Structure 1
Amino acid sequence: MSLLSSCQSLQSFTRRTALSGGLALLMLPTVKMALAASDVWPKNLVVPGGVARISLGPAAVRPTVHDGDVPVLVLGDVIEWTAVLGIPLGALPGNASLTVQAPGGSTKQVAYTITPKQYREQRLKVAPGTVDLAPNDLARFEKERAHQASVMGTFSEPLPQEPLRMQVPTPGRRSSSFGLRRVFNGQSRNPHSGMDIAAPTGTPIVAPLPGQVIDTGNYFFNGNTVWLDHGGGLLSMVCHLSAIEVKVGERLQTGDRIGAVGATGRVTGPHLHWGVMLNQAMVDPALFLAD
């Protein structure tokens, strides 16, 4: 197995392959996409790795929505419900659909369109021995992967409250952006699935939104890691911590301390890797920020 840059290994076992335009849709009236506004988070950006805010119209009861077999977060009220959908980085541009089920059991397909986005690419030449995993490291990674997959499948209530505006977990320079694809010695690797923030070891890390701690551990690529469940399939993770200061089951409010920046796991220096997952798709954390 080839080396993935820190935390990118998560992309190899997220739950979906690329969406394509070949889905059979019921012919319904065109769905109007909710427009992004300065006071709405996450921002509406219907691209691979982005978030689609899809208007479902009025209904007396919150509809149930699935993307394939994965539940989708639905927010709003009886005047207008909105599906808040995370789009995988591997999604192909084109037509796709959600399945919407009314309280009475009837279902319909709601169409939306994914537009292309070109993320930056970085080409690096490194020593061959640093690219491939040793057998014992590969065995550890495979064991950890199954556990992480179960964590990422979390969908809980109560649902989060709008606006879903997040606080940056730690101060610092954004040293690596979401979606960056690295090519080692001519071999492409999975794109960067989060935001890297450069900060000195020991810098405090805080919760970006209210949530419950659902997993902590030390992992091969990610080092010391904490997963938070914000409800409705919205999760966040922080990686490479020098110290974890919370326990599984603990409930946090925005700004509560999680731990401290470090350089644990597969890294070259201290920084925070911050990832946001929505309906089991890693999405750009910047869409949840005010700037």
Structure 2
Amino acid sequence: MKSRAWLFSFLLLICSNVLAKLPEQSAVPGGVMILPVGNIQQAKPDVRFEGKPVMVVKADGLWQAIVGVPLSAKLGTLRIVVEHGEEKSTQLFTIKDKQYPTQYITVKDERKVNPNSLDMKRINQESSRIQEALTAWTETNNEPVNFVWPIKGRVSGLFGRRRVFNGEPRKPHSGMDIAAKTGTPIHAPAAGIIRGTGDYFFNGNTVFIDHGQGLITMFCHLSRIDVKDGQTVKQGDIIGAVGATGRVTGPHLHLGVSLNDERVEPRLFFPPESELKN
């Protein structure tokens, strides 16, 4: 009986560690910070960063805040606000510098670099829809941060790179690119709810998945979309296929991760890149 009890306890420990799997911490702009904010014997605290709600999960016997750091973050000391009922406190963390390289890209369609007035009207309308998807918040205590890669392929573009299109500087790359053949099925990296789909000027055919507590994944340039807004998906479900829609130079998947409405390094959430290879 004692051996069975010991085995049961051991299996529970393993399961709890799997469920509590956290992203890799990276204290740089575009990174992720993991900060202990209370003992799990206490009620779950409310945590905010720059006024936005922050994911809080159970791990290692503590409540842990999982904070997305903006690419535009100033170096030095930043803070989160932690509320336990009527008690409020602040917790500091430090962000260090990271030099992201510059990527020079040539796009044949000049309008994808310098949109005309009609294009800008469309882009502005789409921006509000994209922002609505990225700011979705679903309260849950089952945060599936143990992601799997959505496709196999070659990494063709890294997160954070300063991009120059046709000689003109533009915003840094907010995700990572994985090159693959048009039509390659794209799988949900974890369970979630589809929080938006559409054909966007820059992003092409796009799908957003809400994984709970402000953790959103984004899939762009698809050749087709196989899910609908509001649909529940499981890890591994097919959500669409690789394509070359929007502003692209060839077929690939743009994979983005947003946490507390900040675009962060996707590789912090996924297995080693060796698992990307065919």
**TM over 0.5, shorter chain:** yes
Task: Give me the whole-angstrom Cα distance separating, in 1, the residues matched to 2:108 and 2:253.
Answer: 25
Counterpart of 1:95, as a letter, is T
Residues 127, 203 of structure 1: alpha-carbon distance in 2 compared, 3 angstrom cutoff:
closer
TM-aligned CA deviation for residue 219 of structure 1: 0.6
Contact map agreement 1:261 1:272 (CA 8 A) in 2:
yes
SS in 2 for 1:236: strand
Task: Give me the whole-angstrom Cα distance separating, in 1, the residues matched to 2:207 and 2:35.
Answer: 30
Query: Which of 35, 57, 77 is equivalent to 1:54?
Result: 35
Counterpart of 2:243, as a letter, is G
Larger mean Cα displacement after TM superposition, 178-187 or 204-213? 178-187
Query: Which of 130, 152, 169 is equivalent to 1:188?
Result: 169
Structure having the larger proportion of residues in helix: 2
For 2:9, the equivalent position in structure 1 comes to: none
TM-aligned CA deviation for residue 161 of structure 1: 3.0
Task: Give me the whole-angstrom Cα distance separating, in 2, the residues matched to 1:238 and 1:108.
Answer: 37
| Residues 90-109 of structure 1 deviation map (CA, whole Å, 9 limit, x = unaligned) | 11111010000012x11011
Number of residue-to-residue matches in the alignment: 251
Query: Which of 187, 201, 209 is equivalent to 1:206?
Result: 187
Superposed CA RMSD in Å reads 2.0
Task: Give me the whole-angstrom Cα distance separating, in 1, the residues matched to 2:22 and 2:50.
Answer: 24
Task: Give me the whole-angstrom Cα distance separating, in 1, the residues matched to 2:232 and 2:216.
Answer: 13
Contact map agreement 1:61 1:78 (CA 8 A) in 2:
no
For 1:93, the equivalent position in structure 2 comes to: 75
Counterpart of 1:227, as a letter, is F
Contact map agreement 1:212 1:252 (CA 8 A) in 2:
yes
Task: Give me the whole-angstrom Cα distance separating, in 2, the residues matched to 1:113 and 1:189.
Answer: 27
SS in 2 for 1:149: helix
TM-aligned CA deviation for residue 146 of structure 1: 1.4
Query: Which of 197, 205, 220 is equivalent to 2:201?
Result: 220
Query: Which of 254, 258, 267 is equivalent to 2:239?
Result: 258
SS in 1 for 2:249: coil
TM-aligned CA deviation for residue 181 of structure 1: 0.8
TM-aligned CA deviation for residue 135 of structure 1: 1.1
- Percent identity over paired residues: 45
For 2:254, the equivalent position in structure 1 comes to: 273
Counterpart of 1:76, as a letter, is K
User: Larger C-alpha radius of gyration, 1 or 2?
Assistant: 2
Task: Give me the whole-angstrom Cα distance separating, in 2, the residues matched to 1:215 and 1:161.
Answer: 20
Unaligned runs of 5+ in 1: 1-38
For 1:148, the equivalent position in structure 2 comes to: 130
TM-aligned CA deviation for residue 160 of structure 1: 3.5
Task: Give me the whole-angstrom Cα distance separating, in 1, the residues matched to 2:179 and 2:261.
Answer: 26
Equivalent residues in 2 for 1:50-199 (5 A)? 50-58=31-39, 59-76=41-58, 79-103=61-85, 105-123=86-104, 129=110, 131-161=113-143, 164-184=145-165, 187-199=168-180
TM-aligned CA deviation for residue 186 of structure 1: 5.3
Task: Give me the whole-angstrom Cα distance separating, in 1, the residues matched to 2:106 and 2:209.
Answer: 35
TM-aligned CA deviation for residue 151 of structure 1: 1.6
Equivalent residues in 2 for 1:26-65 (5 A)? 40-58=21-39, 59-65=41-47
Task: Give me the whole-angstrom Cα distance separating, in 1, the residues matched to 2:154 and 2:60.
Answer: 42
